[in-house]
Amino acid sequence: MRKFTYPILIILVSIGFYLWEQHLDKKHYEDLKTDSKITANFDYLPKGFNGELVSHAYYNLAYSETHEQALWVAYELQKSHLSTNDFKRPYFEIDPLVKTQAASWRNYKKSGYDRGHLCPAGDRRFSKEAYDETFLTSNISPQLHDFNAGIWNELEQKIRYWVKKDQQLYIVTGPVFKNTSKTIGSEQVTVPTHFYKAILKYGKGEPKCIGFLFPHKKGLKNLKNYSISIDKLEKTIGYDLFSALDDTLENKLEKENNQWMWRF
């Protein structure tokens, strides 16, 4: 019996350390959320989705246990957020605030897919805490490299260009699953068929919005080819965007593809 005592003690101590580390991680992100001023401005969260709402300091999301990733990530981007800070890239971490437990980064290893950010790290360089928070696994989705480094990255850079003049943007972004059964990893993370972004300019000046829907593949260079009205995007994703807007204004902004209001 004695020969089993030490192995059992080692296992128990290891489990104890793991649980304590998980507790500290969760407390860290809960404290960060409490201290942050940014989530107070999140007035336009989507409605009608089927997922767990998770609030972080610098973005919100709806986590799908079925697909082991976010249905959407929503965040505010202000001109003042733009920064050239060159922080050291951290390791990906399992999001401790997802009650059903977010999928591990290990699912992506040797899968052939990038760990594609939904809220880009490049939009959160204004502080180390904000930057690191984008490396939680609830904020990533399987993306082909040519897509992630191509048209997806191009739109992320275009949004930073837009916010320099528009001052204040609200962005909802996420994957789309259309009759797909393809998964990666032991936790069966679903590989999306499409990705989308919906962008709302609000605050001072005339409000405007635009949607983008991309097939999950290497894309064409012209972003205009992928822009659609918010109404059409909502029919594809199945839930309501920007519902907190005044109904008259919401109907006006969302029914048309307002390319002419944006500087391509």
> What amino acid positions are annotated as catalytic residues?
117
Instruction: Give the pair of three-digit tokens for residue 153.
Output: 């990255």
**Contact by Cβ (8 Å): 205, 169:** no
180: number of Cβ within 10 Å: 15
CA neighbor of 199 nearest in space, from 173, 220, 219: 173
Distance CA 246, CA 73 (A): 22
Q: Give Cβ neighbours of residue 205 (< 8 Å, ≥ 6 apart).
A: 166, 167
In which element (H, E) is residue 59 found?
none
DSSP-derived letter for residue 205 is: S
Q: How far is CA 39 from CA 54, 71, 193, 194, 213, in A?
A: 11, 19, 30, 27, 26
